[in-house]
């Protein structure tokens, strides 16, 4: 029986209700700790439910609270475990604390990402000072990289040759800035194109009352163009480790600036990382990321990861204005034929597929990896992305979509 | 809980077999006066909930189908421009009073959302496939759902005469905003289990016997476990059951041929059809007791 199942006599009511409400408050805290967005209104409703008979049976209370507190499928599935662990003690297996365990911290390739990013995070505060005077200019101008002089030198250096931590920090900063610039340019073009071809009768009549209702000056309108949606799939396997940290920083910027963007990380499995990447602070975002992805190292299963993406995520995240950006070297250790099939399926769904391959700019590189060979026929743009400059060169292409 | 069982029974009487959780959700929705957000795969019967609920309350069902680009003028209200223009022409000369006249109730066209809050008896308001609408519209809807009042610039504020029962459905093609999710109660509608699906078939299809319904439900359950592109929903199951009953099938084992041929009621893509070959359908049928 739950703590509040017994029917109390009237003079005990106060005592009981105080107990119940403190227990309820603790439960709300548990939920918040587990990532539920629970507000005051929900708390009040929960209290009123408990007093109106729902607390008589644990099963009933659980199902009522489940509807009230969970807001999406993942929470819906997690809720029963949490509820049982909290209200019914240890009788039921508890899954509440299983998430975010420290296991993933000592995972090799992500460790290196984290190490690479850490100076970026701490440096950014000091780096802001010199770059603050060119920040407004980059916003005001067409948004090229012209203002940043120190960044200019960096623009053509291959990411893997960036050694000293200060340079890495700068590269991160520029990558983030680049993402910001892409966003503003893309939307501005949308605005300039807006010319209506549907008549807005409401405004027309309003404006023409002074002409006695004869519609002389017409008001038109058009539906607002939806901005481009960007979906990034980043290869975080060992062979890419020299590049992942810069790209992660770029993706972090993109997710921040594009209203519609999703990010996924893959090595042997696929992980949806948009949530972790939406953390404002870049260093903390990378921290959370290392908790999310587990089991890196041991090859790249691009085909299998894409299969997971197509099956579980594609319907939700992809629409007709989606561009899928895959960042990978194409070294497939799994089944290359599967990769080909999944790329074909993906190409049917989205508007464009961009494949960025940092190795492409290496001297003497030819696309011989089995994976990339299978994928090439379905790719709309296959480009190198080993320097900041090549990353920036993408933007005009995206703007044309 | 009494009202939960009442609701489950009333829903069953109107042809919707609800599980205990859904009944709880509806009971809560009425007690707390919050909208209920139903999420789930296409074809699991989200829209049917609203229809059943409106027949339980013997009230009107007002449905707003969302689509990309849905705006206030087709969801909330619109002025009747043709009448306005006519009125302006007719009153030519005494122009002072005309503006007040043409922006009055008489010239107002109700759209679903406005209609829903102006009924005397609270209707069931179904906002279908909210994920298809733009997020601006979602924000606007949120405002309406929290205050239940609408301000029309030319006319003033209209307050709800009754608070409708609001059901919101989503297929999950777009991530909904946290604000909307928080505002609503949440229920994830899953595919029904075998027993419930059999009961649904019996409730909906005339002439479906208990044993046949159970066989169909089991068969559909195993088909859902195959790797399909488009997993059949309850609506498809009902189509299939109707087809089988129409073809006078009493027992699936007696007519494996017909079973395979009518599978097109369930499989809606070429790929899935190729995947479920005669052998596969016979294998699945073999497992069904």
DSSP A127-160: HHHHHTTTHHHHHHSS--STT-HHHHHHTTS-GG
pLDDT exceeds cutoff 70 at A348: yes
What is the mean predicted confidence (pLDDT) over A200-217? 74
Rounded CA-CA distance A306/A279 in Å is 25
Pair (A375, A252) in one structural domain: yes
In a domain, A203, yes or no: no
Query: Is 0.80 surpassed by the pTM of this model?
Result: no
- Between the CA of residue B122 and those of B113, B118, B119, B162, B257, what are the distances in Å? 13, 9, 6, 5, 50
pLDDT exceeds cutoff 80 at B268: yes
Interface test with B, best of A205, A213, A263, A311 (most B CBs within 10 A): A213
A6-10, A250-254, A308-312: which is most confident = A308-312
In a domain, A5, yes or no: no
Report whether A360 contacts A349 (CB < 8 A): no
What is the domain partition of chain B in residue ranges? 2-68+119-188, 194-287
Residues present in chain B in total:
289
Which residues in chain A touch residue B174, judged by CB atoms under 8 angstroms apart?
316, 319
Pair (A236, A325) in one structural domain: yes
pLDDT exceeds cutoff 50 at A248: yes
Residue ranges of A 294-353 with Cβ closer than 8 A to chain B: 315-317, 319
Q: Do B185 and A316 touch (CB under 8 A)?
A: no
Provide the residue range defining the domain that includes A127. Answer: 105-193+226-399
Report whether A343 contacts A353 (CB < 8 A): yes
What is the mean predicted confidence (pLDDT) over A204-233? 72
Rounded CA-CA distance B62/A123 in Å is 57
Pair (A85, A122) in one structural domain: no
What is the torsion angle, in degrees rounded to the nearest 10, for the CA atoms of residue A191, residue A195, residue A198 and residue A201? 80
Q: What is the pLDDT of residue A113?
A: 39
In a domain, A3, yes or no: no
Number of compact structural domains in chain A: 2
Q: What is the pLDDT of residue A273?
A: 80
Which residues in chain A touch residue B34, judged by CB atoms under 8 angstroms apart?
45
Does any CB of chain A come closer than 8 Å to the CB of residue B175? yes
Q: What is the pLDDT of residue B145?
A: 84
- Which domain-ending residue is among A91, A124, A152? A91
Pair (A157, A123) in one structural domain: yes
Pair (A163, A128) in one structural domain: yes
Q: What is the pLDDT of residue B82?
A: 83
Which residues in chain B touch residue A63, judged by CB atoms under 8 angstroms apart?
20-21, 24
Strand-pair partners of B125 = B62, B166
CATH number at residue A236: 3.40.50.410
Decide which of A353 and A388 is more confident.
A353
Pair (A257, A324) in one structural domain: yes
A18-27, A210-219, A385-394: which is most confident = A18-27
In a domain, A207, yes or no: no
In a domain, A327, yes or no: yes
DSSP A238-290: GGGHHHHHHHHHHHHHHHHH-SSEEEEEESSSEEE-HHHHT-SSHHHHHHHHH
Q: In a 3-state reduction of DSSP, which class is residue A60?
A: helix
pLDDT exceeds cutoff 90 at B240: yes
**Which residue is it, tokens 């592109």?**
B229
Q: What is the pLDDT of residue B58?
A: 92
Pair (A250, A329) in one structural domain: yes
- Which domain-ending residue is among A44, A65, A91? A91
Residue of chain B nearest A38, judged by CA positions: B182
pLDDT exceeds cutoff 70 at A117: no
Which of A49-53, A240-244, B118-122 comes out lowest in average pLDDT?
Answer: A240-244
Pair (A380, A240) in one structural domain: yes
Q: What is the pLDDT of residues A6-43, one digit of tens each?
A: 444 555 667 777 777 888 888 888 888 887 888 888 88
Pair (A180, A260) in one structural domain: yes
- Between the CA of residue B166 and those of A339, B27, B117, B185, what are the distances in Å? 45, 13, 11, 10
pLDDT exceeds cutoff 70 at B168: yes
Report whether A124 contacts A171 (CB < 8 A): no
What is the mean predicted confidence (pLDDT) over A249-261? 71
Rounded CA-CA distance B96/B105 in Å is 18
The fold of the B2-68+119-188 domain, in CATH, is Rossmann fold (3.40.50)
Pair (A79, A142) in one structural domain: no
- Between the CA of residue A55 and those of A6, A25, A87, A91, A347, what are the distances in Å? 9, 15, 11, 19, 52
List the structure tokens of A355.
Answer: 């494949």
Share of chain A above pLDDT 70, in %: 59
Does any CB of chain B come closer than 8 Å to the CB of residue A122? no
Q: What is the pLDDT of residue A100?
A: 37
Kindly report the three-state secondary structure assignment for every residue of chain B: CHHHHHHHHHHHHCCCCCCHHHHHHHHHHHHHCCCEEEECCCCCCHHHHHHHHHHHCCCCEEEEECCCCCCHHHHCEEECHHHHHHHHHHCCCCCCCHHHHHCCHHHEEECHHHHHHCCCCCCEEEEECHHHCCHHHHHHHHHHHHHCEEEECCCEEEECCCCCEEEEEECCCCCCCHHHHHHCEEEECCCCCHHHHHHHHHHHCCCCCHHHHHHHHHHHHHHHHCCCCCCCCHHHHHHHHHHHHHCCCCCHHHCHHHHHHHHHHCCCCHHHHHHCCHHHHHHHHHHCC
Does any CB of chain A come closer than 8 Å to the CB of residue B94? no
Q: Do B85 and A205 touch (CB under 8 A)?
A: yes
pLDDT exceeds cutoff 50 at A119: no
Pair (A131, A238) in one structural domain: yes
Residue in B39, B69, B89 nearest the CB of A213? B89
List the structure tokens of A396.
Answer: 């005009």
- Which domain-ending residue is among A91, A119, A151? A91
Pair (A60, A122) in one structural domain: no
Report whether B113 contacts B76 (CB < 8 A): yes
What is the mean predicted confidence (pLDDT) over A186-204? 55
Share of chain B above pLDDT 90, in %: 29
In a domain, A51, yes or no: yes
């Amino acid at each position: 029986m739950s703590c509040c199942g017994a029917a109390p006599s009237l003079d005990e009511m106060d005592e009981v209700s105080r107990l119940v409400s403190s227990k309820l408050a603790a439960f709300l805290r548990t939920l918040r700790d587990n990532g539920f967005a629970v507000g005051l209104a929900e708390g009040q409703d929960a209290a009123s439910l408990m007093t109106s008979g729902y607390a008589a049976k644990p099963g009933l209370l659980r199902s009522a609270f489940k509807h009230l507190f969970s807001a999406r499928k993942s929470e819906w599935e997690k809720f029963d475990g949490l509820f049982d662990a909290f209200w019914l003690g240890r009788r039921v297996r508890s899954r509440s604390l299983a998430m975010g365990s420290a296991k993933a911290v000592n995972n090799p390739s992500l460790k290196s990402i984290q190490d690479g990013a850490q100076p970026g995070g701490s440096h950014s505060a000091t780096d802001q000072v010199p770059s603050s005077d060119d920040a407004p200019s980059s916003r005001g101008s067409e948004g090229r990289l012209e203002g940043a002089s120190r960044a200019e030198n960096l623009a053509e250096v291959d990411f893997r040759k960036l050694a000293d931590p200060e340079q890495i920090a700068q590269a991160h900063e520029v990558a983030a800035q680049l993402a910001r610039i892409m966003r503003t340019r893309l939307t501005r073009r949308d605005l300039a194109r807006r010319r209506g071809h549907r008549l807005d009768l409401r405004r027309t009549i309003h404006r023409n009352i002074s002409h006695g209702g004869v519609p002389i000056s017409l008001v038109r309108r058009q539906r607002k163009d939806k901005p481009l949606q960007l979906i990034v799939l980043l290869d975080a396997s060992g062979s890419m480790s020299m590049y992942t940290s810069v790209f992660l920083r770029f993706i972090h910027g993109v997710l921040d600036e594009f209203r519609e963007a999703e990010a996924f990380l893959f090595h042997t499995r696929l992980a949806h990382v948009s949530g972790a990447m939406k953390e404002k602070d870049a260093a903390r975002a990378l921290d959370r990321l290392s908790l999310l992805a587990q089991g890196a190292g041991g090859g790249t299963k691009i085909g299998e990861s894409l299969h997971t993406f197509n099956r579980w995520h594609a319907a939700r995240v992809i629409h007709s204005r989606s561009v899928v950006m895959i960042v990978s070297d194409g070294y497939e250790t799994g089944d290359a034929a599967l990769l080909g099939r999944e790329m074909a399926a993906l190409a049917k769904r989205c508007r464009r597929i961009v494949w960025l391959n940092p190795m492409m700019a290496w001297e003497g590189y030819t696309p011989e990896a089995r994976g990339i060979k299978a994928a090439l026929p379905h790719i709309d743009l296959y480009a190198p992305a080993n320097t900041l400059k090549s990353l920036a060169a993408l933007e005009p292409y995206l703007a044309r979509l | 809980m009494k009202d939960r069982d009442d609701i489950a029974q009333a829903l069953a009487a109107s042809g919707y077999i609800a599980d205990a959780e859904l009944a709880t959700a509806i009971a809560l929705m009425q007690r707390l006066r919050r909208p209920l957000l139903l999420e789930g795969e296409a074809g699991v019967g989200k829209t049917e909930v609203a229809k059943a609920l409106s027949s339980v309350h013997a009230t009107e069902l007002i449905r707003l189908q969302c689509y990309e680009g849905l705006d206030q003028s087709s969801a909330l209200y619109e002025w009747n421009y043709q009448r306005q223009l006519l009125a302006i022409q007719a009153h030519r000369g005494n122009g002072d009073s005309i503006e007040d006249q043409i922006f009055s109730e008489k010239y107002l066209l109700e759209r679903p959302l406005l209609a829903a809050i102006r009924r005397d008896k609270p209707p069931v308001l179904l906002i279908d496939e909210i994920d298809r609408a733009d997020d601006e519209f979602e924000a606007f809807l949120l405002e309406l759902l929290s205050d239940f009042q609408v301000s029309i610039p030319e006319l003033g504020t209209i307050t709800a005469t009754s608070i409708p029962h609001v059901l919101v459905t989503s297929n999950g093609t777009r991530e909904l905003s946290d604000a909307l999710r928080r505002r609503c109660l949440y229920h994830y509608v899953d595919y029904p289990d075998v027993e419930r699906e059999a009961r649904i078939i019996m409730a909906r299809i005339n002439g479906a016997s208990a044993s046949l319904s159970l066989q169909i439900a089991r068969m559909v359950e195993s088909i859902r476990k195959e790797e399909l592109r488009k997993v059949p929903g309850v609506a498809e199951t009902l189509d299939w059951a109707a087809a089988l009953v129409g073809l006078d099938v009493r027992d699936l084992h007696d007519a494996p041929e017909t079973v395979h041929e009518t599978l097109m009621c369930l499989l809606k893509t070429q790929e899935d059809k190729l995947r479920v070959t005669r052998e596969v359908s016979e294998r699945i049928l073999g497992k069904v007791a």
